[in-house]
A and B are shown apart, each in its own frame.
Chain A
Amino acid sequence: MARRRAAAPGALLVFLAMKAAPGDPALSVLGENARPELVQAFRHQHGLDLPLWRQFLRWISAALQGDFGRTLTLAGGVPVRELLASRLPVTAFVGLYALLLAVRISLLLGTIAALQRGRTLDTLTTSFAVLGVSTPDFWLGYVLIFFLALNVLIFPSYGFASPTQSIPGALLSGFLPALAIAAPMAAVFSRVLRAALLEVMHRPYVQVARSLGHGSAFVFVHAVLRNALIPYVTVIGLQVRYLLGGVVVIERVFGIPGLGSLMVDAAFGRDYPLIQACALTFLAIVLATNLIVDLVCTRLDPKARP
């Protein structure tokens, strides 16, 4: 709940931080030795000569309508909105792909670990989990390239087929990047699921369900898993922040033209409107995910239902 209050001050923070950044955007675009009247004209054109609060109001009201202005240095001044619109679907695809992989892997591993508690398989999955947390995702990306793309030639090592052009191509070329992002997250998810399953497994209502004569698979799915899902989904929501961080680096590693590589390019070019827009978009994604997770948790928890 509290998270959602963050939207407006978040935008203000992004704006003010960007204003506090060293360097004059006019000089970085026009060059250090630009003529003063040209600098004046540039400032006026981009509204940089207005008072700060008017600049903020102008920026935020335009941003709310989807207008983030034009880029300063990148691609010679195209509208930021067009860049975002062309990059966002790619990032959304890779991010969701990674999330889906992480959920599938962790459901399998977490369940195995909980059911085999204390045996070899449990130790193995737990070790995998600790290893996964300790592996930087961009390094994992290169290891995957090395083993699965350079030597075996199953997956492309670089580049990305857009999902709008070909779905199978996108699934194939997106697999390694998604796996690199998913592995550390799957590690965290499976540990949480294991702990949650173990916590629920010996509750009285599970014993009641069992004593009523339901099969063990039925009891597991309806009595155990269902109640363990709430902490699991909550953690997935929290981890989306890390997922976005992974997306930024991994997009660079695999040459995926998404929002993350756009933000890195903007950082190199000191393209302030573009960085502001990227930061704001990432903030919006996190806030939207929190909202979705809250809604899912309310649906999952019978006690929280009105």
Chain B
Amino acid sequence: MRTRLMSLIALAATLALTLHISAQAPKPAAKPYTAPRTPDGHPDLQGTYDLATLTPVERPAGAKAALTNEEAAKLERNVAAQVEARGRDIAGERTAPPKGGDGSTGAAGGVGGYNNFWLDPGSSYTVVNGEKRTSLVIDPPDGRVPQMTAVARQRALARFVRPTSDATESRDVGLEPAGSYDNPEQRPLGERCLLGFGSTSGPPVLPTYFYNNLHQIVQTKDYVMILTEMVHDARIIRMNSQHLPKTIRKWMGDSIGHWEGETLVVETTNFTDKTRFRSASEDLRVIERFTRVAPNALLYRFTIDDPATWDRPWTAEYTWPLTNDHIYEYACHESNYALENILRGARRREADAAKKEE
């Protein structure tokens, strides 16, 4: 929750700055970068990338598309100061937190989460074409995801969607309606350690704004693999191939790719009804474009096309900086005490309620 709040505040500041400071002069286009080649002659995209960023998916209405370097530096320093403040000592001699919850609202449901030292959200705004961007969305030009169609809104309401590929798994502010905890299959994919939250596995691949933002690309002539740190998801893209029959549907969809000059273009269709990127339909089509733009960075751009959900396609982009850090095995399911605790909590409540009735 704090991460989201932090982004909101950063955006409020962005908006405020927009009102106060005139826009920066546009920069001349830089000379295109030519990536090193793989043995089969294609641009080499391989490496591990850290997708953490302060730039949110959408920007507030009316905010400008980019920050000046000075504005961005100030906001980034503020975030760094906040992180530093949260790392400071507290009273060793303290009491238990208040009964009834600690007063925090939102997904943590008043019990809080855990110490800040576990977290690794973004520390800087994404830089594209030398601009410090205020949103990942670039089309529509207002930097906001288009409104959903009336049909899509109806569909989203009618279906009890388990957030899987797009939202955090922590929407449960307290307790969900009866039946939500009857068995593991009722729980969201993220909570079950089957896919990471925040559309980290994608497609489209988004930052988690929380932690575990590493992704590794491995390339051969016929396949490109994207390994996602959380929850250890590997998406395998078949090069110059055809889509599977429509009857075969996959959690991360069916991805096929081809090269357009310096750019790897990937089309993904055949999604299941278990994964719903922002309540998209099964006919969601995602086009991703991966381009090495510098020795240490890749530009990732995606277009969402789903006429059954949005009346126009929309596009977002952000830079993936290379990192020397390693992805550690996630092995999420094996130690998922959280799911056990959630289900046991529900059984305990039922047992206590049955005792009262006797």
The answer to whether A and B assemble together is no
